[in-house]
Chains A and B, each alone.
Chain A
């Protein structure tokens, strides 16, 4: 399965390249692109957040054999929820990940590498959903649900054998 990482707005230099290089099997190839989206259209002034459900509709349908994953730094919410790290169409090969709430406390090179690892893990997570996977009970599987940033650190940017088998079977 090929992955196209799409910058939705400004993305730090080399972030997309680093994440793409870290993606595990069965993502065998990929490319990086940019997608012009209207954040304004999905912005909720009362909440000062961007509606993830609105934003993902601006990600186009992928062509066969491809999975589209948007990267953004805006704070995402879903109408019923106060925030989300990302959103995807379950099995629809489209998703979005935001790093707005993934920043670790403090600064420095360690913080930067933690952030990249968290983003990569959540990209693997949303890609899994976009490929049809649901949440996994294995604590260090990328498909385990994380509800706070430190929870992402408990996971690996990879799938457990059961999730990987499900994923491979769906290809």
Chain B
């Protein structure tokens, strides 16, 4: 049994140190010994230690003083105090100062084994917790970090606004990854250990949306058989993400405005005022300014939610991201379906690059998932995509077909213009001119 837990036995009595070291080495722990507090501190600083078994009575630096110094040096270390009956009161003092537990000499083998095993489990949980926190803090889903300048700007905005409590409005077409960006804001905020609560406001009727957001009391309406906490309450100390905020009916806009301003609410059918503390992130595919101008969206609510706006570009404006995103989804779905698919054929990649992706990243993900289902070889072919073959655009003009063909060849040649020109049997200058004409840029 190999355990990555390091134990340090600190005792001025050699036979105690040695017998405990023998005992725990047989358990598979990495065990060190120290004869004094000074040696122990040096060992902790030099090698790092997860669990310290510390004798409370030692000449020079005693166990209590050592504990205080270890706390400064290694705050995560677990300290177990070893004591004789005579010094139990001091051991209790050590507990008050943060020791994990104390054990009276001589130890019952079962008790000391169980205690150290529990301490080792605690250490493992702390380490796992820390790793998860770091992973959350550094989380940048591949979908939105594929490297294009447009998405780099989005990430920059996220990094700027995430640590604040500012309301954020994310705008963009359907399928551009608005919820992912909202999640990233939450993950990089100080509220990341609180809840991330999502409500899709576009999918619900007014009454249902009210109840979902604000909760309701028993008997508030027919069918309200019990008290129900709303999404706003559930987001307390976390982030509330309201998707399709542009679809919220005017009455609910008023109620939401009050909650956003006052940070308190009343459940539907209730009289109690409930304090709430949440960060609001909203998203919409609509042009809210136009909605305000048309009188369908309240301007005061718009100004309240639109403190910091993050626009997400559609996938067709960042076609350079398509290969990385496609590879990401291929890996994801191939793993899920236990398929060995090494990549895309040139034709398949060209098809992905030239398709305009009206459904954005969501459509790309769906297309790759479908292709993985259909694929019987080790590469995705163009024929696995529903849009491959005839030009995807409804525009059948010669210019549209020429543009699509040029885009396809450029993608197939990894945007090597000279090579694409040879394939197209035209000279490089002509190809550059056509790229300029069609607004094609190298990624």
Q: Mark B1-18, 1 if CB is under 8 A from A, else 0.
A: 110000000000101101
Given contacts A134-B1, A134-B27, A135-B27, contact A79 B106 (CB under 8 A): yes
**Among the listed A81, A134, A135, A136, which residue makes an inter-chain contact with B107, where contact means beta carbons less than 8 Å apart?**
A81
Asked if A78 contacts B22 (CB within 8 A), the reply is yes
Task: Give the residue name and chain of the A residue nearest to B55 (CB).
Answer: A80
What's the nearest-Cβ distance from chain A to residue B111, in Å? Answer: 9
* A82 vs B109: C-alpha distance when bound (angstroms): 7
In the complex, chain B residues whose CB is within 8 Å of the CB of A80 = 15-16, 19-20, 23, 82, 105-107, 112
Given contacts A53-B19, A135-B1, contact A90 B25 (CB under 8 A): yes
Task: Give the residue name and chain of the A residue nearest to B25 (CB).
Answer: A90
Task: Give the residue name and chain of the B residue nearest to A78 (CB).
Answer: B19
**Among the listed A83, A129, A136, which residue makes an inter-chain contact with B109, where contact means beta carbons less than 8 Å apart?**
A83
**Among the listed B13, B23, B82, B110, which residue makes an inter-chain contact with A148, where contact means beta carbons less than 8 Å apart?**
B110
Interface residues of B in 12-41 (CB under 8 A from A): 13, 15-16, 18-20, 22-23, 25-28
Given contacts A53-B19, A134-B1, A135-B1, contact A81 B26 (CB under 8 A): no
In the complex, chain B residues whose CB is within 8 Å of the CB of A136 = 1
Asked if B106 contacts A90 (CB within 8 A), the reply is no
Check A87 for interface membership: any CB of B closer than 8 A. yes
What's the nearest-Cβ distance from chain B to residue A133, in Å? Answer: 9
Check B425 for interface membership: any CB of A closer than 8 A. no
**Among the listed A47, A53, A79, A147, which residue makes an inter-chain contact with B110, where contact means beta carbons less than 8 Å apart?**
A147
Q: How many residues of A contact B (CB 8 A)?
A: 21
Interface residues of A in 27-82 (CB under 8 A from B): 47, 51, 53, 77-82
What's the nearest-Cβ distance from chain A to residue B7, in Å? Answer: 13
Given contacts A135-B1, A137-B1, A145-B113, contact A78 B23 (CB under 8 A): yes
Check B108 for interface membership: any CB of A closer than 8 A. yes
Asked if A53 contacts B1 (CB within 8 A), the reply is no
* A129 vs B107: C-alpha distance when bound (angstroms): 21
In the complex, chain B residues whose CB is within 8 Å of the CB of A115 = none
In the complex, chain A residues whose CB is within 8 Å of the CB of B105 = 80
Interface residues of B in 67-118 (CB under 8 A from A): 82, 105-110, 112-113
Check A84 for interface membership: any CB of B closer than 8 A. yes
Task: Give the residue name and chain of the B residue nearest to A77 (CB).
Answer: B106
In the complex, chain B residues whose CB is within 8 Å of the CB of A135 = 1, 26-28
In the complex, chain A residues whose CB is within 8 Å of the CB of B25 = 90, 134
Asked if A79 contacts B113 (CB within 8 A), the reply is no
Asked if B13 contacts A81 (CB within 8 A), the reply is no
**Among the listed B16, B20, B106, B113, which residue makes an inter-chain contact with A82, where contact means beta carbons less than 8 Å apart?**
B106
Asked if A134 contacts B28 (CB within 8 A), the reply is yes
In the complex, chain B residues whose CB is within 8 Å of the CB of A148 = 110
What's the nearest-Cβ distance from chain A to residue B222, in Å? Answer: 57
Task: Give the residue name and chain of the B residue nearest to A89 (CB).
Answer: B22
Given contacts A136-B1, A147-B110, contact A81 B19 (CB under 8 A): yes
Asked if A81 contacts B27 (CB within 8 A), the reply is no
Asked if A90 contacts B109 (CB within 8 A), the reply is no
What's the nearest-Cβ distance from chain B to residue A135, in Å? Answer: 5
Task: Give the residue name and chain of the B residue nearest to A47 (CB).
Answer: B106
In the complex, chain B residues whose CB is within 8 Å of the CB of A83 = 109
Given contacts A80-B106, A135-B1, contact A53 B23 (CB under 8 A): no
Asked if B26 contacts A147 (CB within 8 A), the reply is no
* A83 vs B1: C-alpha distance when bound (angstroms): 23
Interface residues of B in 40-60 (CB under 8 A from A): none
What's the nearest-Cβ distance from chain B to residue A33, in Å? Answer: 25
* A80 vs B116: C-alpha distance when bound (angstroms): 14
Q: Mark B266-309, 1 if CB is under 8 A from A, else 0.
A: 00000000000000000000000000000000000000000000
Task: Give the residue name and chain of the B residue nearest to A138 (CB).
Answer: B1
* A19 vs B20: C-alpha distance when bound (angstroms): 29
In the complex, chain B residues whose CB is within 8 Å of the CB of A87 = 22
In the complex, chain B residues whose CB is within 8 Å of the CB of A53 = 15, 18-19, 22
What's the nearest-Cβ distance from chain B to residue A92, in Å? Answer: 11
In the complex, chain A residues whose CB is within 8 Å of the CB of B1 = 134-137
Asked if A129 contacts B16 (CB within 8 A), the reply is no
* A170 vs B195: C-alpha distance when bound (angstroms): 52
Asked if A134 contacts B26 (CB within 8 A), the reply is yes
Asked if B107 contacts A82 (CB within 8 A), the reply is yes
* A158 vs B203: C-alpha distance when bound (angstroms): 64
* A145 vs B27: C-alpha distance when bound (angstroms): 8
What's the nearest-Cβ distance from chain B to residue A124, in Å? Answer: 14
* A81 vs B13: C-alpha distance when bound (angstroms): 14
Given contacts A135-B1, A135-B27, A147-B113, contact A82 B22 (CB under 8 A): no
* A148 vs B109: C-alpha distance when bound (angstroms): 9
Given contacts A87-B22, A137-B1, 17 further A-B contacts (CB under 8 A): A53-B15, A53-B19, A77-B106, A79-B13, A79-B19, A80-B16, A80-B20, A80-B23, A81-B108, A82-B109, A83-B109, A84-B109, A134-B26, A135-B1, A135-B26, A145-B26, A147-B110
CB pairs A–B below 8 angstroms (29 shown): A51-B15, A53-B18, A53-B19, A53-B22, A78-B22, A78-B23, A79-B13, A79-B16, A80-B15, A80-B16, A80-B19, A80-B20, A80-B82, A80-B106, A80-B107, A81-B19, A81-B106, A81-B112, A129-B26, A134-B1, A134-B25, A135-B1, A135-B27, A135-B28, A137-B1, A145-B26, A145-B113, A147-B113, A148-B110
Residues of chain B touching chain A, judged by Cβ–Cβ distance below 8 Å, are: 1-2, 13, 15-16, 18-20, 22-23, 25-28, 82, 105-110, 112-113
